[in-house]
């Protein structure tokens, strides 16, 4: 692992170059094989990746796609979700989760999240479903559970709510492939599971990519058709309106090499999270993320809460002064985005707004050395105890 020359060497938020120093030869070998056979669209690496991902998750089927967003879209297209349909989803997530129902003409219904785990709040979901039913304007069609930051959404409860109202369940697992719930890898908690291979996700490619996992062979068949323009059993038979949603063979080749290292990388992320938790437990100015019970996170993001927006700004500045990058996921809840606000029914979502003003993510990637982690922990302690300025107020 790369060593650092001095204490002031910047610690990046993500370090894909360091990862390439570790697994570059395996990636080059896989890519060279594709350059030799030239089957750039749906080549043998795509089928191999689909088998390996399905095996990893214990899912019946995997269909590799062009992005996590396209995975969400194809899953909803396959259910015929569109105008007049309500799609329930958390307000505190990445934009794609709300974008897809809107692209299909459906209405996102924003649900608040839990202040400790940051996952969708099931009691509020129940309230929102009843609200939509009572209003009678939209049909409750789907629940998109987002496994935020690497941790699983409360799936048992989400399935219960969905079953009560005959709704489709979609797992937006873009950030959390590799996590477990009840000892089982994510991938079978919902009717379909969407994953993303965006470079910064735990299993990241070298470009855009995604996949859908499902145990239902009929759905898998539909997903394959929809990713290739709705084709039937022969290429020039168009059965439905689809899209171009295929994963490139070159991306599949990169991902196959990445998958060989994925288990070690998850272990490393978990060790770093444990070190952060232990180091920050006694700091009054900061709250560590609550672990979802009976699960193991994929640690896409390690996010802490500061007392308020000013404390966060001060902490970020103090970390920056020590060469340590931080980030804010997400500075705005989705119902406050200019594009989505007009589609929001005005329901208050106070926890999502509170998190947007106080959350801060620390570097979290497998290339962080133990020395890096020690430096980050010391810098965070200094930043929130106010060595760089006013101390952060204590928070509950």
Ligand X SMILES: *Cc1c(COP(=O)(O)O)cnc(C)c1O
- Compare residues 19 and 66 and give the one whose CB is closer to ligand X: 66
Least distance from C-beta 29 to ligand X, angstroms?
25
**Burial class of 90 by CB neighbour count within 10 A (0 to 12, 13 to 18, 19+):** buried
Q: Is 189 in the site for ligand X (CB under 6 A)?
A: no
Percent helix, strand, coil in the chain, to 5, is 45, 15, 40
DSSP classification of residue 13? S
Q: Is 97 in the site for ligand X (CB under 6 A)?
A: yes
Least distance from C-beta 377 to ligand X, angstroms?
26
Query: Which of 34, 62, 69, 117 touches ligand X by CB under 6 A?
Result: 69
Q: Which residue is nearest to ligand X (CB)?
A: 68
Query: Which of 107, 193, 196, 392 touches ligand X by CB under 6 A?
Result: 196
Q: Comparing C-alpha atoms, which of 302, 310, 321 is closest to residue 395?
A: 310
Q: How far is 361 from 284, CA to CA, in rounded Å?
A: 17
Q: Is 210 in the site for ligand X (CB under 6 A)?
A: yes
Tokens linked to 178? 């590799």
Segment 75 to 94, residues that bind ligand X, using CB under 6 A: 93-94
- Compare residues 56 and 149 and give the one whose CB is closer to ligand X: 149
- Compare residues 71 and 307 and give the one whose CB is closer to ligand X: 71
Query: Which of 67, 169, 193, 214 touches ligand X by CB under 6 A?
Result: 67
Query: Which of 104, 146, 349, 364 touches ligand X by CB under 6 A?
Result: 146
- Compare residues 97 and 326 and give the one whose CB is closer to ligand X: 97
**Burial class of 231 by CB neighbour count within 10 A (0 to 12, 13 to 18, 19+):** middle
CB-based contact 84:64 (threshold 8 Å):
no
Kindly state the number of chain residues that form the binding site for ligand X, as judged by CB under 6 A.
15
Q: How far is 309 from 352, CA to CA, in rounded Å?
A: 14
Query: Which of 107, 175, 295, 352 touches ligand X by CB under 6 A?
Result: 175
CA 165 from centroid of its chain's CA atoms: 26
Residue 97: what are its φ and ψ, rounded to 5°? Answer: -60, -35
Q: Comparing C-alpha atoms, which of 170, 175, 155 is closest to residue 93?
A: 175
Q: How far is 107 from 159, CA to CA, in rounded Å?
A: 20
Query: Which of 74, 174, 315, 373 touches ligand X by CB under 6 A?
Result: 174
Least distance from C-beta 72 to ligand X, angstroms?
6
Q: How far is residue 136 from each of residues 87, 91, 107, 112, 140, measured CA to CA in Å?
A: 14, 22, 13, 21, 9
- How large is the C-alpha radius of gyration of the chain? 21
Question: Residues of 167-184 as b/e, b for ≥16 C-beta within 10 angstroms?
Answer: bbbbbbbbbbbbbbbeee
Q: Is 297 in the site for ligand X (CB under 6 A)?
A: no
Q: Is 179 in the site for ligand X (CB under 6 A)?
A: no
Piece in contact with ligand X (CB under 6 A), picked from 61-69, 112-120, 357-365, 387-395: 61-69
Q: Is 352 in the site for ligand X (CB under 6 A)?
A: no
Tokens linked to 343? 């589609």
- Compare residues 175 and 249 and give the one whose CB is closer to ligand X: 175
Q: How far is 48 from 366, CA to CA, in rounded Å?
A: 25
- Compare residues 198 and 340 and give the one whose CB is closer to ligand X: 198
Query: Which of 79, 121, 172, 372 touches ligand X by CB under 6 A?
Result: 172
- Compare residues 94 and 280 and give the one whose CB is closer to ligand X: 94
- Compare residues 334 and 362 and give the one whose CB is closer to ligand X: 334
Residues that bind ligand X (CB under 6 A): 67-69, 93-94, 96-97, 146, 172, 174-175, 196, 198, 208, 210
């Amino acid at each position: 692992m790369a060593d650092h020359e001095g204490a002031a060497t910047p610690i990046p938020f993500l370090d894909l170059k360091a990862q390439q120093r570790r697994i570059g030869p395996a990636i080059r070998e896989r890519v060279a094989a594709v350059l030799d056979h030239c089957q750039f669209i749906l080549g043998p690496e795509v089928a191999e990746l689909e088998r390996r991902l399905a095996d990893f998750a214990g899912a019946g089927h995997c269909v590799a796609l062009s992005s996590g967003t396209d995975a969400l879209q194809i899953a909803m297209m396959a259910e015929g979700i569109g105008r007049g349909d309500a799609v329930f989803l958390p307000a505190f997530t990445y934009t794609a989760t709300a974008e897809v129902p809107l692209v299909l003409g459906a209405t996102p219904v924003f649900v608040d999240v839990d202040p400790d785990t940051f996952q969708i709040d099931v009691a509020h979901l129940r309230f929102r479903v009843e609200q939509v039913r009572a209003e009678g304007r939209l049909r409750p069609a789907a629940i998109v559970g987002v496994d935020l930051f690497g941790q699983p959404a409360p799936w048992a409860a989400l399935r219960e709510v969905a079953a009560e109202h005959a709704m489709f369940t979609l797992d937006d697992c873009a950030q959390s492939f590799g996590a477990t719930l009840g000892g089982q890898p994510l991938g079978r908690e919902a009717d379909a599971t969407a994953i993303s291979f965006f470079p910064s996700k735990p299993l990241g490619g070298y470009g855009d990519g995604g996949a859908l996992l499902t145990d239902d062979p009929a759905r898998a068949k539909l997903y394959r058709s929809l990713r290739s323009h709705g084709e039937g059993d022969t290429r020039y038979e168009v059965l439905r309106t689809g899209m171009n949603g295929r994963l490139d063979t070159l991306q599949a080749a990169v991902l196959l090499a990445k998958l060989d290292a994925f288990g070690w990388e998850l272990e490393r992320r978990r060790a770093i999270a444990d070190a952060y938790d232990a180091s920050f437990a006694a700091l009054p100015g900061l709250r560590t993320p609550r672990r979802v019970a009976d699960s193991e996170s994929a640690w896409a993001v390690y996010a802490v809460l500061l007392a308020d927006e000013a404390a966060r700004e001060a902490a970020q500045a103090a970390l920056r002064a020590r060469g340590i990058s931080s980030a804010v996921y997400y500075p705005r809840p989705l119902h406050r985005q200019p594009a989505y606000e007009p589609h929001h029914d005005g329901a208050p979502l106070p926890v999502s707004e509170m998190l947007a003003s106080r959350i801060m993510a620390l570097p979290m990637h497998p290339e962080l050395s133990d020395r890096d982690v020690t430096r980050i922990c010391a810098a965070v302690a200094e930043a929130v105890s106010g060595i760089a300025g006013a101390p952060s107020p204590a928070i509950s």
